[in-house]
Amino acid sequence: MKLVRFGESGAEKPGVIDAEGRIRDLSQHVGDLAGKEIDPDALSRLAGIEIDSLPLVEGTPRLGPCVAGTGKFICIGLNYADHAAESGMDVPPEPVIFMKASSAICGPNDPIVIPRGSKKTDWEVELAVIIGRHAKYVSEEDAMDYVAGYAVTNDVSEREFQTERAGQWTKGKSCDNFGQIGPWLVTKDEITDPQNLKMWLTVNGETMQDGSSATMVYGVRHLVSYLSQFMSLHPGDVISTGTPPGVGLGMKPPRYLKAGDVVELGIDGLGSQRQDVVADA
Task: Please compute Rg for the chain using Cα positions.
Answer: 18
pLDDT (0 to 100) of residue 281: 80
List the chain domain ranges: 65-279
pLDDT (0 to 100) of residue 78: 87
- Give the Cβ contact number of residue 62 at 10 Å: 14
HSE (side-chain half, CA atoms, 13 Å) at 149: 30
Question: Do residues 158 and 175 lie in contact, with contact meaning Cβ atoms separated by under 8 Å?
Answer: yes
DSSP helix/strand/coil, 23 = strand
Q: Which parts of the chain sit beneath pLDDT 50?
A: none
pLDDT (0 to 100) of residue 54: 97
Q: Please provide the CATH number assigned to the domain covering 65-279.
A: 3.90.850.10
The DSSP result for 73-102, as a single string, is EEEEES-BHHHHHHTT-PPPSS-EEEEE-G
pLDDT (0 to 100) of residue 264: 98
d(CA 38, CA 31): 11
pLDDT (0 to 100) of residue 90: 79
pLDDT (0 to 100) of residue 85: 76
Q: What are phi and psi of 102, to 5 degrees?
A: -65, -20
pLDDT (0 to 100) of residue 225: 98
Question: Do residues 58 and 152 lie in contact, with contact meaning Cβ atoms separated by under 8 Å?
Answer: no
- Give the Cβ contact number of residue 145 at 10 Å: 15
Indicate the pairing of strand 112-114 with strand 271-279.
parallel
pTM of the model: 0.96
Using CB atoms within 10 Å of the CB of residue 219, give its burial: 0 to 12 exposed, 13 to 18 middle, 19+ buried. middle
pLDDT (0 to 100) of residue 253: 95
DSSP state at residue 62: P
pLDDT (0 to 100) of residue 82: 78
d(CA 212, CA 216): 8
